[in-house]
Amino acid sequence: MNINWKRISKAAIASLLILGTVTATAQRTKKKPVKKVATAKPVFSPVGIVNQLMNDSCLVPFFRKAENADEVSVLHLGDSHLQAGFFPGTVAAKLQEQFGNAGRGYVFPYNVAKTNGPTDYHWGTNSAWQAARVVEKTNWYTGPGGIVLYSQQPSADLSLTLRSGTISTAEVLYEGGALGDASVQPLPGAGNGLSMATLRFPEGTTTMGLRWSGVPDTKFYGAVLRNGQKGLLYHTVGINGAMFSNYNNMDLSLQVQAAWLRPNLVILSLGTNEAFGYLSASQFRAEIDETVTTLRKASPEGTVFILTTPPSGMGKAVRTPYRKKVNGKYKTYYRSKFRTNAHVAVLRNEIVSYCRAEGLACWDFYNIMKSDARFSRGWAADHLHFNATGYNLQGTLLAEAILKAFKNTITYSNMLTLEKLISQLLYDPKDPILFNSAFFLFFFAAFLVCYQLVSNSIRGRVWVFTLFSLYFFYKACGMYVGLVIIAAIVDFYLSNTIHRSQSQRTRKALLVFSIIINLGLLFLFKYTDFFIGVWNDLSHGHITPLGLLLPIGISFYTFENLSYTIDVYRKEINPVTDFLDYLFFLSFFPKLMMGPIVRAADFIPQIYKPFHVDAEDIGKGMYLILGGLIKKVIISDLIYQNFVVFIFDDPSRHTGLECLLGVYGYALVIYCDFSGYSDMAIGIARWTGFKIPQNFDTPYKSASITEFWRRWHISLSSWLRDYLYIPLGGNRKGKVRQYINQFLTMLIGGFWHGANWTFILWGALHGLMLGLDKTRMNFMKARGWDKWTGPKRMALRVAGILFTFHFVCFCWIFFHARTFDIALSLLHQVAYDFRGDLFVSVVSGYPAVFALMLAGFVLHFMPHLTWQKMELRLARLPLWGSVAVMVIFIWVLAQVKSSEPMLPIYLQF
């Protein structure tokens, strides 16, 4: 196992700082008289894959040589995905923009051999050449391109024309007669017969002629072209139908050929043909290991890194039936579709596992492609290969990942300490601060140190917390931090004016003004483009969408602003008189971005209490933080990135069984993602002396949809009840009006989640089911079924849990699907192409995913008493024990976490 001790040691220091500060503060805080303040009247108290390399530090030797050496070379070995040159050509062009262009690199006359090849150069000949390929298992040496040209004439010729770039020198690998007046030397390790000739050309040359004479048998293996400039050579070797075993079994050994090309970096892009041939995982791993070992021997100073295989199809369409109503009768029709080769995922997992074990860099193209909708337009007709658009996109993404690794591992390490520090402290839109990010550990440690220094001063605590919270929000979304400050200023002054005003008309006008301001900002950033799209659809207009970025957390702090002003208007609380106190409440960083939605009546009185953290707070906080990280990073991220994202990307390419399991997986993903982040927020707040309300209470244990909404996103459902459902009339105006109010509340709740018709339908479905559930409860109560006990009551509850869970899962389909077409396609697969006989095959293809899903649901349904005992044990740990738990946990997290961090799902809301 490749252990990053540097990262672990940093985590240990940060953990020690955090826990030491919390514990020391808890030990020295004493109870003080509580300052009397006005108390509130009682009130009733739902994605993405980052494009980066795994183990990118492995590329540091290559990057350093690319920066300092006159020439550096890359050898890209692969199968037919490389042969046409689109994919590697894009990578080469972008890397050469960064490191310089030293020439075209390896070339071969593919067009003469009557096979596919790059289009940026062309070969001509007047001779009769024949070709042999390594995949055909001939007895000929096949050269680095896996192919050889041979001529049996006394003389033979070839000519090359570059469509871009120039030729200064050419190293030609061949066997046969004399090659003009070129300086010739034998190829080391290749045995007798093979020669390497060096040809030199005048400046600006774009064509090259080769003529052999004197021997009737000539074999040509390829050439390396340089342009006389400093920079990078990119050798592309793509063999149609190739596997790792073909490179391992070359007659002219891979080691000898790689030594000729002298690569500083070798990129391996293989696996499609192994997946199509259903090569076993163990045999596939052995083939990878043999190839990597050979390449390391050929170029001891070189670096090897591997790409995971693209999620290609089976190579041919599958006809699936569907029914359609025609003239009042249903008829069976058939549609052709391409189904994903499930074995690709098995080999993808083997590549990632091998790279982790051997400490190799890896680019997980399998997952990146699945998460990028642009690739849906990049398939070729066979769904095994890509078109030019798909290959160019793949090349662009790989080059971006390599250059990002270069920036992270070299550029930053070469910067002055002060510059590096400043760059880390500034907002980076590609790397926002999150609770599960490394930067947050040090941010939180620094915050606790400063917070402890002022822990005996109310004003000092408010100042420190507010400044750190505003900085946290700046690191999360840049200059949008100004929106929080503006919102705080507006509602602070409006609420105080409402409180002082004696005129009911003035109070109501100010309240309406506050609602318009808050909802107006939310509407501007979140819903403007949605309504522009609706208008364009209805009127055939062409209004250009604004394309505004959605500020992180705006939906949450907008609702907090509204509840505060409404509570002041209702005279349920008195407004704060110090602006900083209100800004502190609104910007409180643990809940700022993703909730819970905190009421001012519950939070603001805590500001004026003495700071007090005891062993219970430490244990509870640690339990919530560790549990939240397990939910978010281990369960949610891994299940989503390794299974769920593939299903929802294109359900028509999967069986109904896979789609159903994908929906079950998403139910667990969204719960663990959101509740995990909420748990971390509550735990962090607990460590700072504040208690914010629970947001989730094992919702999938619910036996009815009404109970579900008492357990799911509790802060939102209670907010909607108190500030929307009850003002609409609640249940005070008859049964019909009650059902309408419930429906409207959930409809608006769905729209709150996102500006998309799928979210509106999701809310409408829940609203309809709440009404039906209310009718069901009245029906059961009238017949006395609600008073059942024993086995009858247990059976009724189990049935209710199963029905509620599956209804919620059904609704999650529309919640997560980008379009109705995707949602309906998934439902169609479940209904008409279920294929339950593939259960064992599907589960065996994703063993880690389904093990996590099983563990997640088992943990979810465990009794509360089990978790209470766990909290108590954590609370009783001494300081060294707490630090040990945190360090061990962070180490485990570093080993199992996904190589591509995923932003929280609810961050988009």
Residue with tokens 């294109």: 650
Q: How far does Cα 446 stand from its chain's mean position?
A: 28
In angstroms, the CA 675 to CA 886 distance is: 20
CA–CA separation, 467 vs 470, rounded Å? Answer: 5
DSSP E strands: which ranges in 632-787?
none
The single residue listed with the structure tokens 């593919």 is 110
- Terminal Cα distance for the chain, rounded: 38
- Are the C-beta atoms of 514 and 488 separated by less than 8 Å? no
Q: CB of 40 within 8 A of CB of 598?
A: no
Q: Is residue 860 flagged as an active site residue?
A: no
Query: What DSSP string describes 4-61?
Result: -HHHHHHHHHHHHHHHHHHHHHHHH----PPPP-PPPPP-----------BTGGGGHH
- Nearest Cα residue to 343 out of 280, 294, 385: 280
Residue ranges of E strands in 678-767: none
CA distances from 269 to 76, 88, 364 (A): 7, 10, 11
State the Cα–Cα distance between residues 609 and 698, nearest whole angstrom.
31
- Quote the DSSP letter at residue 549: P
Q: Cβ(61)–Cβ(303) under 8 Å?
A: yes
The secondary structure of 746-797, three-state, reads HHHHHHHHCCCHHHHHHHHHHHHHHHHHHHHHHHHHHCCHHHCCHHHHHHHH
What phi and psi values does residue 750 have, to the nearest 5 degrees?
-65, -40
Residue 300 buriedness (CB in 10 A; 0-12 / 13-18 / 19+): exposed
| DSSP per position, 480-534 | GHHHHHHHHHHHHHHHHHHHH---HHHHHHHHHHHHHHHHHHHHHHHTHHHHHHH
Catalytic residue (one of 343, 753, 766, 816): 753
Kindly state the DSSP code that residue 846 receives in the 8-state scheme: S
Residue 543: partners with Cβ closer than 8 Å, 6 or more residues away: 532, 535, 536
**Cα–Cα separations (whole angstroms), residue 786 to 478, 739, 779, 824:** 53, 21, 9, 37
Looking at the annotation, which residues are catalytic? Answer: 753
